[in-house]
Structures are given as structure tokens and as C-alpha cells.
Structure 1
Amino acid sequence: MGMEFLAILAVCSMQKQFLEKVWEKIELLMNIWTFIRECPELLNSLDKKTESLEQKLDTLRSLEEDINTELESAKFLPHKKRKREVEVWLRNVQRKKIDIQSIKKEVGKGKHFLRPWLESHVERNIKEVEELHEQGKFPQGLLLDAYHTSREALLTTPLVGGISTKRIMKRIWECFTDVKVSRIGIYGVEGVGKTAILMHIHNQLIESSCPFYHVYWITVSQPLSIFKLQNDIAKEVGLDYLDEKDIRKRAAKLYKALKRRERTVLILDDVWKHFLPEEVGIPNKVNECKLILSTRSVDVCRKMNFRETIKVEPLSDEEAEKLFMEKLGLRKPLAPAIEEIAKLIIRQCGGLPIWIIEMAQRMREVDDISEWRNASTEAREFRRELND
């Protein structure tokens, strides 16, 4: 009896395994039938999504072409460079075009068993192309300013003149913080120290935290030439060239270049003759460009309609004598006769630091009274020429 029961159980187990295998076959057939029935719809869906991907890629290509055209034109803009984010975006677009080309090849092979994977891949790329298109709008522009500006301090010597010179320096500095002042004229006779003062102002501007981004120094050549001055300014601000011969067109280019920089200080040293800044191409607004120049004549400042003019006065007799003796570097007191000649030389230098320093250095270690007399005669001739 027991053996018969076990035999029945064995038969039932075999039948169950057989039925399970049969059911697996049936499920497989049903899945195959479902795939066959839905295959046209799947194929149609993939084709539509692939077509959508191609359309969105065409839009992205158009944006890429526009950006490349703008970047190509920017090659002729002085001191502009493309942003790094633009370069990264262009590389990403190139990679995405290669990826999509590979996907299109796979779709073209018509391997039906890959269709579900391809469809998901196409969907992901549609989304990525849309993101790239949005990123490529660049609302802040494609380019960065790469303006040239001299940040090197000029070599200077200590200023002379004591309180009077400090007062001039302070007044000039106040002009830079006055929003109403765009042009400053520094005038005084030759050798009075105008250039030295401006050199110290230049160094203070580039070393301080003042709200001026670009500081340019130009020594004006003589005789004054607007064409030459335009070239000198263009070279200093970093323009590669002014390829125009017409002064008005050159001025327009220079004006645009300086205006784009904003908060610029242009220092023109040793201007002998007046000119119209607009004729050169120098902006007039304070937030665009502050112009400061040195000249020997107050008439230059007046004819150029400068709002602020500052006179640099010669040294006082006391300041002149102190400077002369300092530069003479005495190791022992002067002989009385030579001391009288020295005082005469100091007076004949007219309080001009450049001549006081030169004469003192020339007479250093000189004990021969005849050489002192010759120096006095030379100083007298210089004073006569200066008066003329």
C-alpha cells in the first residue's frame, strides 16, 4: 500500500514539472506575440523620437553657427577674448553631435531587439540637446574684456618742495574723487617739477584701491601731432593698430576703445600746444575717462576748457637752499667766498628743482673757486634764457 502511494506521488510530481514547463513555453509565446503585435507601434515611436532628436539637433547647430560667427567677428575687436564657458559649451556640442551620429547609425541597422534600449537612449539625448540649447544663450555675452593696462610703477625720486608740494598732491588727488571733474591741468615753468609730481600720482593710482581700473602714461612728443598722439595712446591702451588714415575715423575708434574700458585715467605729460580732446578721441565723461596733463602754459589749460588748473610754483629761497645743500653732500663747510657764489647760483636757478639738483651734483667735491665762478656764469645764462 505504501509503495503504491509513493508511486502516485512521483507521477503527480512529474506531471507538475511538465505543466510548469508547458506554462513557461506558453508565457514565452504570449510575450513573443505581444511584442509582434506591438512591434509596429514601437518602431513608429522610435522613428518619431529619432526625428524629434534630429530637429532639435538642427536648432542646436544653428545656434552653434551663430555663436561661431560672432566669435569670428570678435577677432577684430581689440583685447576681447571668448569666455571659458563658451569654449566648454562648444566642445560639449561637438561631442553631442558625434554621440547622436552613432545613435542614428544604430537605429538605421533595424535591430528590433535593441529598440527599447535605443528609444530610452534617444529620449535622454533629446533632453541633453535641449539643455545645451538653453545653456548656449549666454545672456551675459560670449566675450570677456582683456584690456591692457600698465600696472608697472614708474621710477621716481623723492618729491621736493615740502608743504607746497604736498598741498598740490592733495588737491590733485581730490580731483580724482570729484565726480564733476573730468579734466585736470598742471602748469608751471620748465623744470619746476610737474613731471615728478605726475609720476608720483601715476604710481599712487596703480597702487591704491581707488576706483580707476586703467591708468595710462603718455609723454607727448614735440611738435604736437594729433596723428602721432592717437598712435601713442592706441599703443599704450593696447590697440594693435589704427588702420585708418582719416583723423576723425581714428578718433572714433580710439573713443570707443577708451569708453569700453570705463574709469580710465589718461596722463599726458609735457603738452606744449592746446588741442581738442574730442579730436583725438578722448572721452569727456568722468566715468569714462579722466584726463590730466602737464604743460608750461596756463593758456593751454584755458583753451582746452579745463575745469581744474593747478599751478606748480618754484621752490622758496629757503627750500631751494636746503635742496642744494642736501644734493651737494658737504663733508666740510664751504669757504666763505664759495658760499657766497653758491647762494648766487641758487638764486639764479629760480627755485627750479631740476636745475638746483643738477648744479649741486656738478659742484660736489669742487673746491676751486674759478669753477664755482664758471658755474655761476652758466646759471646766469640759464636764467636769462628762461626769462626770454
Structure 2
Amino acid sequence: MGFEFLALVTVMTQFAGTVQAKIEHAKKICEFLKLFPVWLNYIKEQDEKLKTLKRKLDTLCSLQEDVREELTAAEIQPGKKRKREVETWLKDVDAKKTDIRKIEEEVRYKRYLQWPLLDSSIERNLQEVKDLHKKGKFSEGLVLDVHSTSKEPLLTQKLVGRGSNLGEISKWLNDPSVSRIGVYGVKGVGKTALLTHIQNALAKNSSFEHVYWVSVTDQPGIQKLQDTIARQIGLNLSDEEDKIIRASKLHNALTKRGNFVIILDGVGRLFIDEVGIPNERKGCKLLLSTLSLRQCQRMNCQETHEIKPLSHEQALELFKQKLSNRNSIGPEIEQIAQQIVEECKGLPLWILNVADRLRGVDDINEWSNALTEVTEYRKGNAD
């Protein structure tokens, strides 16, 4: 009986243990079932986040395609190169697309095991997609101007008596409040010579990224002038005939150039605002030469400077310099030289042309003939 009783006690104990274990297990199942609706709601929220992430990614991909199309159009133009930040952004978007494809796969196969980690990953990538979309606006443009301004100096002649002219114009070029400067004076007074010296000085000035020299013919017309400037900056306007659209394209291209100076030498009677050169924009300078103050005013120049003829002493100095610094030319030739300089009326162009002809000439008759020609030429121009 004792052994049977012990056996019965053992069985009852085991049975009680099994029942207790089943009760505990049932409690756990009940706890799980209580949490099940919460878990289902969490998964549903995760699905919505993933859908939002995919929509944001689609928008980002559309922006990426727009950027690529704009780059394709921009890089066709000569002298254009995409910015490094744009190239980096394109690569970052491609990498982000790969990341999100991996997240979709993990959600499909591992969501029941790793859903808390996946949820964190979705939220992080959603923020990163938003950041990439914001960075992809590129308000400063997609490309760089790699059309290099020529650093070759222009041919110049030695200036005499023009120090104050150079100083005044240089002062305005360095004044950020001045965007248009007009230099005027009669034909032959030396405006081009002065501007070539300014061009060469500006080419060495690090404060200006580009310096463009444009020689303007007597009657260029708006379209021809637009084409000339466009070639200087690497812009192709050959496929556009409408002058308003051409002006807009030229204006937009110049606006993106940074700090620059355009020198228009010999501007005649035209309305410069129709060309497309920016006005009153920081970093944009227009320096032009023309014949009269009135023309400078018509072209909205904020500052104007008259180039006046040289004094007799300055003119004689220039004349002798062009004669290769000839110190002694004899009293008779010296007298004729004084008369020639007087007839040239301080105009460097006339002075230099006559000096070129008489360089190395000792025949007094040829000097006399040159004086006669200058006198007649001056009278003809006066008439």
C-alpha cells in the first residue's frame, strides 16, 4: 500500500505541475492576444510610413530626372560644366534608391522578426529623402562657367598724360554701387588706348572673375552685338531670332557669371538695355566708350568721364616717344614737329599716325609734306 500511495502522490504532483505549466502558458497566450491588436496597428502604421517613403522617393526621382534633363541641355552649351555638388547629389539619390529597395525587401521577409529596427530605418530614410529633395533645388544653378577669359594682354601703346583718367575710372570700377561707366570723347582722343590698359589691369585683378573685351562697329545692330558678347561668354544664340528672347538668354547667362566686367569699345547710337546686359547687379560692371556725354546718358551710365585732348607738351612728348625717343632732330625739323603737333590738336591717334610715317626720316621736305597733309586733313574734318 505504501508504494502505491507514493506512486499516486507522484502522479498527482506531476499532473498538478503540468496543469500549472499549461495555466502559465495560457496566461502568456492571453497576454499576447491582448497585445495583438496593438501590434497589428503598429504594423499598419509601418505600412503607411513605407508608402509615404515610396511616394517621397518617387517625387525625388522625378526631381532627379528634371535635373538630368536640365544638365543635358546646359552642357550642350560651350563652356559649361556641371557643379561637383550636383554630381554628388545625383549619386546620393541613386544610393538612396538602392537603400530603400533593400528596406522594402526586409519589410517583406523580416518584418515579424525585426519590425522595431525596420521602423527606425524607415523613419531615418524618410528624413534623408526629404533632405535630398531640399538640396536638389540648386537655386544657384547646376553648371559652372568654364569658358575661360583670355589672359593674353591686349596690345597697348604707352600712355602720356592719362594717369588721372586711369585713376578715376579704376575708382568707379572698385565701387560696388557703380555698375555702368561711360567714357566719352571726340574721335582720335585715345579712348581705345586707355581702355586697353584698363582691360589688361583688370585681367590681373582677382576681384573680377571675368573681363570681356568687345569692339563695337559703327552700326552693329542689337543682334550683332548680342552675338559678339555671347561668343565672349561661351553662349550660343544662333538658334534664336527673337531679340527679346535673345536678350533674356544673354541676361540670364551673364547673371550667373559672378563678378565680371564687360568693356564695349566704340558704342554708337543704340539702346544698350535692349542687348541683355544686367544693370545695377552687384558684381556686374559695364565700361563703355562713345563719342558724347549724351550717348552715355542714353545708355544709363551712372558715372561718366570725358577724355580730353592732350596738352601741347604732352602731345609733343608722345610724338617724340613714337619717333623712338629721338633726342635731336635738328632745329628746322624741330620747328616743323612743333607745328605738326599743334595741328594734331592733342589727338593721340593723329599724333601717332604722323610719327609712324616720319620715324627715321631726316628729309625736311618729307616733314614739310607731312605738315601740309595734317593741316589739310584737319581743315577737311573741321568742315
TM-score by length of 1: 0.72
Q: 1:269/1:368 Cα in 2 relative to 1: closer, same or farther (>3 Å)?
A: same
User: Corresponding residue for 2:338?
Assistant: 343
Q: Distance in 1 between matches of 2:379 and 2:328?
A: 30
Asked if residue 217 in structure 1 is aligned to residue 216 in structure 2, the reply is: no
User: Corresponding residue for 2:223?
Assistant: 227
Letter of the 1:354 partner, please give it.
L
Q: 1:367 aligns with which of 355, 362, 369?
A: 362
Q: 1:206/1:377 Cα in 2 relative to 1: closer, same or farther (>3 Å)?
A: same
Query: Identity over aligned residues, as a percent?
Result: 40
SS of the equivalent of 1:61 reads helix
User: Corresponding residue for 2:160?
Assistant: 161
Q: 1:88/1:274 Cα in 2 relative to 1: closer, same or farther (>3 Å)?
A: same
User: Corresponding residue for 1:129?
Assistant: 125
Contact 1:57 1:129 in 2 (8 A): no
User: Corresponding residue for 2:269?
Assistant: 274
Asked if residue 199 in structure 1 is aligned to residue 200 in structure 2, the reply is: no
- Residue 159 (structure 1) shift: 4.0
Q: Distance in 2 between matches of 1:62 and 1:348?
A: 76
Contact 2:63 2:133 in 1 (8 A): no
Q: 1:291 aligns with which of 286, 293, 302?
A: 286
Letter of the 1:176 partner, please give it.
L
SS of the equivalent of 2:289 reads strand
SS of the equivalent of 2:239 reads coil
Q: 1:316 aligns with which of 311, 329, 336?
A: 311
Q: Distance in 2 between matches of 1:263 and 1:365?
A: 46
SS of the equivalent of 1:309 reads strand
SS of the equivalent of 2:247 reads helix
- Residue 205 (structure 1) shift: 3.0
- Residue 136 (structure 1) shift: 0.5
Q: Distance in 2 between matches of 1:263 and 1:99?
A: 41
Contact 1:274 1:301 in 2 (8 A): no
Instruction: Give CA deviations for 1:44-75 in whole Å, capped at 9, x if unaligned.
Output: 89999688556524432331222321441354
Q: 1:324/1:89 Cα in 2 relative to 1: closer, same or farther (>3 Å)?
A: closer
Q: Distance in 2 between matches of 1:243 and 1:327?
A: 47
- Residue 107 (structure 1) shift: 7.6
Q: Distance in 2 between matches of 1:177 and 1:88?
A: 36
Letter of the 2:320 partner, please give it.
M
Contact 2:71 2:142 in 1 (8 A): no
- Residue 133 (structure 1) shift: 0.6
User: Corresponding residue for 2:64?
Assistant: 67
- Residue 350 (structure 1) shift: 2.5
Instruction: Give CA deviations for 1:197-253 in whole Å, capped at 9, x if unaligned.
Output: 11222233342354x544322111232311111211222233222633222332233
Q: Distance in 2 between matches of 1:377 and 1:338?
A: 14
Asked if residue 186 in structure 1 is aligned to residue 183 in structure 2, the reply is: yes
Comparing 72-81 and 366-375, the one that deviates more: 72-81
Contact 2:86 2:142 in 1 (8 A): no
Q: Distance in 1 between matches of 2:107 and 2:170?
A: 72
User: Corresponding residue for 1:87?
Assistant: 87
Instruction: Give CA deviations for 1:113-171 in whole Å, capped at 9, x if unaligned.
Output: x975x768856753563353143033483344523462525324354223xx1111122
Q: 1:96/1:149 Cα in 2 relative to 1: closer, same or farther (>3 Å)?
A: closer
SS of the equivalent of 1:347 reads helix
- Residue 324 (structure 1) shift: 1.9
Instruction: Give CA deviations for 1:320-355 in whole Å, capped at 9, x if unaligned.
Output: 222222221366732333332222222233222233
- Residue 106 (structure 1) shift: 7.7
Q: 1:183/1:281 Cα in 2 relative to 1: closer, same or farther (>3 Å)?
A: same
Q: Distance in 1 between matches of 2:328 and 2:201?
A: 38
User: Corresponding residue for 2:172?
Assistant: 175
Comparing 186-195 and 372-381, the one that deviates more: 372-381
- Residue 295 (structure 1) shift: 1.5
Contact 2:183 2:289 in 1 (8 A): yes
Q: 1:92/1:141 Cα in 2 relative to 1: closer, same or farther (>3 Å)?
A: closer
Contact 2:222 2:275 in 1 (8 A): yes
- Residue 319 (structure 1) shift: 1.3
Q: Distance in 2 between matches of 1:336 and 1:243?
A: 64
Q: Distance in 2 between matches of 1:179 and 1:55?
A: 49
SS of the equivalent of 2:266 reads strand
Q: 1:256 aligns with which of 229, 245, 252?
A: 252
Comparing 228-237 and 77-86, the one that deviates more: 77-86
Asked if residue 358 in structure 1 is aligned to residue 353 in structure 2, the reply is: yes
1:32-111 equivalences under 5 Å are 53=50, 56-77=53-74, 82-98=82-98, 101=101
- Residue 81 (structure 1) shift: 5.4
Comparing 97-106 and 308-317, the one that deviates more: 97-106
TM-score by length of 2: 0.73
Q: 1:330/1:235 Cα in 2 relative to 1: closer, same or farther (>3 Å)?
A: closer
Q: Distance in 1 between matches of 2:87 and 2:120?
A: 23
Contact 2:315 2:341 in 1 (8 A): yes
Asked if residue 245 in structure 1 is aligned to residue 241 in structure 2, the reply is: yes
Letter of the 1:204 partner, please give it.
A
Contact 1:255 1:281 in 2 (8 A): yes
